[in-house]
Structure 1
Amino acid sequence: MPVTDDALAGRLVERMQAVEHALTGHVRSRAPFVTSAASHLMEAGGKRFRPLLVLLAAEAGSHPDSDDVITAACVVELTHLASLYHDDVMDEAALRRGAESANARWDNHVAILTGDFLFSKSSELTAELGANAVRIQAQTFTRLVEGQIQETVKPSPDDDPLEHYLDVVAGKTGSLIATSARYGARFGGATPEVEEALTAYGDIVGTAFQLSDDILDIASDSVESGKTPGTDLREGVPTLPVIMAQASTRREDARLLQLLDSDLSDDGLHTEALTLLRAHPAMGEARAYVVARAQEAKSLLTVLPDGPVREALENFADIVATRST
C-alpha cells in the first residue's frame, strides 16, 4: 500500500513490525511439530492486507496506538491463515505463496488440523477484546464458512450465476476484510459513523480483492502469483472471468464453452482452456467490473476528512483494482 505521508508510513511500519512479532508468538505451540506446521504459511510471506487495514482504519480514530488494535490485527491474520490451510485441502493446491502448500508438504490431515489450531488461537485472542468482538468474529466466521459451502453448490436454474458467485465471494473474502476495517475503527476509537462506513468499504474492497484474484489465477503464471495457475478452472469452480465468458453467444467461443463445461483435470485440455480464456473479452470485462467496485468503495470514504489516512485508503482500493490489470 503506497502511503505518501512519511509520518503515517512510519507509524504503520512500526506497528506492522509489532504485529509480525506478536504473530510469531501466537503460532507457537508446546509441540514443535505444531509450531512448524502453523508457521509454514506465515513464514512464506503474504501481503498482510488484513492486519494492515486494521492498523490503517485505526488511524481514523482517537487512539490508533491502542494495544487492542495490534491484537485485532493478529486476530484477522490468524483467521485468514487458518482459512488458507483449509482452502488448499479443498482445492488440492500444490503451491501457496510460492511455497509448498501444507497439504503437499505433509498431508490433508495435518493441513486441516493446523487450520483448526490457528482458528482456535484466533478465538483466544478475540476473547481478550471483549464480548462484542467475540460476536463480530463469530458472525464473520459464519459468513466465511457459508461462502465456502455455497461455493460447492451450483446455482439453481432460476439463479443468476454471477449473483450467486458474488454472494459466495462476499462471504468467503469480503466478510473478513470488512471485519478488519471494523476492528481497526472500533479499537482505534473512531466514531460509529466512521466505523460503519469503513466496514462497508472493507466489504466491497474485500470482494474486489477476491475478484482480482480470480483474474490473476487465469492471467498469471505460478512465478508471478506464487500459486498454481488455473486451480479453480481445473476444479470446475466458476469464477468471475469464467462466468462472464460462459454468458457469451459468440460463435467463435464454441470451443471455449465446450471446455468450460467439461472435465479439465487433463493437463492438455486445462492448458487449452486457459489459453482461450486469457484471450477472451471476458478478461477485460472482469477487470472493468473490479475497477468499478473499487470506485464504489472509495465513494464511502467521504465521512473521513481529506488527509493521509483517507488518501491511503483510496490507494488501497486502487491497488486491489490495478493488481488485476
Structure 2
Amino acid sequence: MKDFLVEWESSLSEKITKINTSLKAAIYTDQKELYQMTSYIVDAGGKRFRPLLTILAYEIAYPGPYESILDLASSCELIHTASLVHDDIIDNAPTRRGKKTLNSLYGIDNAIVVGDYLFAKAYELGSRYGYEVSKIMSDCASQLAEGQILEYMNLGKLDLTEEAYLEIISKKTAYFFSVCTLAATTAAKSPPELKKNLSEFAYNLGIAFQITDDILDIVGEEAKLGKSVFADIKHNAITLPTIHALKNSGPLYDRLVEIIKFPTGDANNKDELKRILAKTGSIDYAFNRAKFYVEESVKALNKSGSSENINLLMDLAMIVIERIGNMA
C-alpha cells in the first residue's frame, strides 16, 4: 500500500506543490513571530487529503483551470490545521507528524493564538467564493466544535453506543470531508445530483478514515504514524474497537475497564489491550465497519460519472482502508 500512496501522491505532485505555495501565501504576516509559528505547523506536512478532495471535486464539476479554487482548497486545509492545533492543546500532545507540537514548542498560550489565526485566515479565503460557500465553511467549524464537545462529554463513558460514537466522528471528521467537496461543487455551480453524490462519497470516506485512525491509535506504530499512539485510551476516549470489546469481553471485562479507566501507557499495558481486543474480535469488527463505509463511498462515487479524477478519488478510498496494513 505504501507504493500505492506514493504513486497517488506523485500523480498529484503539481497540485500539492501549488497547495503548499498557496498555504504559505495565505498565512503570511509581517508579524514575524506569528509567521514563524504558523509556518512551522503548515510546513510540518500532512497528506493534504482535504485540499486535494476540494480540487478534484471542483475539476469533476467544472472544466476550467483548478487554480481558481486554490484559495478554497487552502481554506479547507487551514481549518483542518487549526483544529489539529487545538486538539493538541486539549490532549497535551507532545508530537504531531513526527515533530514537536506548537504547544510543546511555543507554549499553550501561543498555540491558542496560532489556531485562532489559522481559523481567521481560512474563513477569509472561503469568503472569496460568495455567501453560500462561506456559510458552508462556517457550518463546518460549528460541526467541529459540536463534535469536540460531544466527545468531551462522553469521555470514559463505558456504555457509549456505536450510534453515539458515529455521531461524534461524523461531526469531527466526516462532515468536514463532505464540506470539501460540497464547497467545491457549490463554487463550480454544479448540478444538485453531482453535489449530492460527491458529498456522500466524502462523508462516508470520512467515517471510514476516522475509524481506521482509531484502530491505528491502538495497533499502529508511532514511528510510522508520526504521532503518539494510545492517545485515545490515555484521554479516556471511547472508540469503536473499545465499544465492541466492552460488549464482548466476558470474563475479561473487569480488566478491560481497568485499562480504560487507569491507562499507564507502558508497553505491557498496550500489549494487554491489544490481546483483549484481538480475543474479542474488536479490531476485526472495527476494520470491517470501516470497509463498509468505504464501500458506501464507492457506491456514491460510481454515480458521479467516469473520469481521471473519479479514478483518483476511487484510489483515495482504497488508500484510506489499506493504511491499516501499512501503519500497524
Q: TM-score, normalised by structure 1?
A: 0.90
Aligned equivalent of 1:274:
270
Quick one: which amino acid aligns to residue 262 of structure 2?
Answer: D
Cα 1:114–1:145 change in 2 (3 A) is: same
Deviates more, 1:148-157 or 1:126-135: 148-157
1:320–1:132 distance in 2 versus 1, CA, 3 Å: same
For residues 136-172 of structure 1, what are the alpha-carbon distances to aligned partners after superposition, in whole Å with 9 as ceiling and x for unaligned?
Answer: 1111111111001100012899975211111111111
Shift of 1:247: 1.5
CA RMSD of aligned residues (A): 2.5
Partners of 2:94 and 2:100 within 8 A in 1: yes
Q: Deviations over 1:290-317 (max 9, x none)?
A: 0111001100113222332222222111
Check 1:220–1:3 CA distance in 2 against 1; reply closer, same or farther (3 A cut): closer
Please tell me whether residue 234 in structure 1 is matched to residue 234 in structure 2: yes
Q: Could you list the runs of 5+ residues in structure 2 that have no partner in the other structure?
A: none
Secondary structure of the structure 1 residue equivalent to 2:16: helix
1:217 is matched with which residue?
217
The answer as to whether partners of 2:71 and 2:125 remain within 8 angstroms in 1 is: yes
| Structure-2 separation of matches of 1:95 and 1:87 | 12
Structure-2 separation of matches of 1:117 and 1:201 = 30
Distance 1:222 1:159, change over 3 A: closer
1:179 equivalent in structure 2? 179
CA contact (8 A) 2:160 2:238 kept: no
Residues 56/66 of structure 1: CA separation in 2 closer, same or farther (3 Å cut) = closer
One-letter amino acid matched to 1:263: F
Query: Is residue 3–residue 308 contact of structure 1 (8 Å, CA) maintained in 2?
Result: no
Q: Is the 8 A contact 2:259 2:273 kept in 1?
A: no
- C-alpha spacing 1:98/1:9, structure 2 compared with 1 (3 Å): closer
Corresponding residue number in structure 1 for 2:35: 35
AA of the residue aligned to 2:206: G
Equivalences for 1:68-217 in 2 at 5 Å?
Answer: 68-154=68-154, 161-217=161-217
**Amino acid aligned to 1:114:** V
Q: How many residues align?
A: 319
The equivalent residue for 2:262 is 263
Contact 2:144 2:171 in 1 (8 A): yes
Change over 3 Å in CA distance of 1:67–1:308 after alignment to 2: closer
Q: Partner residue of 2:295?
A: 295
Render the CA deviation track for 1:8-40: whole Å, top value 9, x for unaligned: 976x43233222111011122221110111112
Alignment CA distance shift 1:89-1:9 (3 Å): closer
Unaligned runs of 5+ in 1: none
Task: Give the partner amino acid of 1:18.
Answer: K
- Structure 1, 12-21 or 119-128: larger mean CA deviation: 12-21
Farther off after superposition, 201-210 or 155-164: 155-164
Work out the CA distance in 2 between the residues paired with 1:138 and 1:99. 29
Q: CA 1:250–1:5 in 2, change beyond 3 Å: closer, same or farther?
A: closer
Contact 1:277 1:283 in 2 (8 A): no
1:50 corresponding residue in structure 2: 50
Q: 1:320 to 1:257 in 2, by over 3 A?
A: same
Cα distance in 2 between the residues matched to 1:253 and 1:158: 11
Say if 1:19 and 1:74, in contact at 8 Å, map to a contact too: yes
Name 1:18's counterpart in structure 2. Answer: 18
The residue matched to 1:324 in structure 2 has which SS?
helix
TM-score between both structures, scaled by the size of structure 2? 0.90
In the aligned structure 1, how far is the partner of 2:97 from the partner of 2:306? Answer: 35
Moved more, 118-127 or 179-188: 179-188
Match of 1:323 in 2: 323
Contact 1:201–1:300 (8 Å) recurs in 2: yes
Q: Which amino acid aligns with 1:13?
A: S
More divergent stretch after superposition (182-191 vs 150-159): 150-159
SS at match of 1:247: helix
CA contact (8 A) 1:212 1:290 kept: yes
In structure 1, C-alpha distance between the alignment counterparts of 2:60 and 2:172, rounded to whole Å: 26
